[in-house]
Structure 1
């Protein structure tokens, strides 16, 4: 895609990012949440013109780049300090969420939800939101209507949790580590997790991001598991859509860049001045990314979400959120 097509939309991202930073300074409200609100108003009050869409769509690139750069401010020693405990929490909560959604979909809501739609909801809510839905859908050959319902449901909860989690965190007075890990293990998509983490504090943002990346890395196991199950379930094997290429295409590759910079930081490659500059850079990248994230929250699409998928995912979210918060409060 040519640079000329990207510039108008990118300019809008930059302008709204500047506005978000300015309003944040004036009001004391976290500028990342304001950035999401600005994008939300743009897409729902005005609409995103066709000529701006390509540039605004680059927000996913800026989010990935920001996460990669954030690795320069961390070391392996910091991560390993409580990393083992966090990893156990990640695996436990992820498995609990996936099983809960599957059970609710196949029993309580069995008459209203297809088996594959239940699996898409389970993958999206337990791993990494819409990205997991797309990956699993390709492996089990889900219908487009099922993918749309699952994605709309997850996006609805992304919009809700990005507002609710900072409020709950402040009311409960959660520490940086507890809040960051809690958001990372129980919220759905990477963008909202990073946003609410940094809205709480810098340290909470780092823990939220690291926790979410560990959770995202489980996507491979989930895709392979679902592909194997549906291949065996169908006598003709028509759903055997898994391939290593599919897994690589959907794997969040910024995880690799993040780990590379953590390794360099651990080796002492970056000076304090360089780390400060990198921190400033990834903070600006996050503002750009969250303006774009806000444009993806479209009220018309959220209204089209059926009630049954919402209730199933809500029950699993409440369970995972309450369970993880209780465990983390006891541990930290």
Structure 2
């Protein structure tokens, strides 16, 4: 399996770093508007804070995978929040069978709770979002997303299958849009962990992924679509969207499909190649490996701290 397809090998690589044990933040809980409680960690800045950062995970990826990056940002003067969406990791119920959690609630409820929590915990601080994969799409679903001051996204898309890389499209379609819904129907949830693909997913999340349509609002009831689009349009935070040339899922087309909903945000999309960091491959997950500390991670500071695109020579036309 490649980094594009599976989170587990990426997490093991970070865990296997002999130089340090997994960093640990302070445990926190957040109550969503629908009374569901989700859990995460708060990483206080280790110097006078210059801003707050919320890290939004990819689908089926544990928040702890991002702890190394969160600890890095805390060392650079940011207060950082990591958290698990409902149905995942620390926010998983005793049983996923029959669980009605959906993708949309990760944005409308869970990210919204994280945003309100961080705003209350660090009032008045600039508030930034780092969104990986679906984590870069979810902010637009929150009714309070206008509070965001700046966003950095990596491979941010919502998995419309025709946008997958052409050489891998059939394989990925069969995996995520045929096998996943079939297994979800059989088990009552998606058993990703036992397959070694991703974490287990609630049936609603898996099915929203499997049956995604070209217009994301088409997966919502018709009466709600206008309000949904207005939420995305309320986001005015500048967005720097990172695309990797060897990402089979988060292609240029896939990321553009997501970015076009942020109509009132100043959007910059960059296309990076593995050779830009002297690597043979990066894919969909690898940017959060601890081996990127001295390269990509340090580059992201220019955007999060100063609002400066660190890759001006890699901008692609909107």
More strand by share: 2
TM-score past 0.5 threshold: no
TM, length-normalised to structure 2: 0.24
TM, length-normalised to structure 1: 0.23
Higher RCO, Cα 8 Å, sep 6+: 1
More helix by share: 1
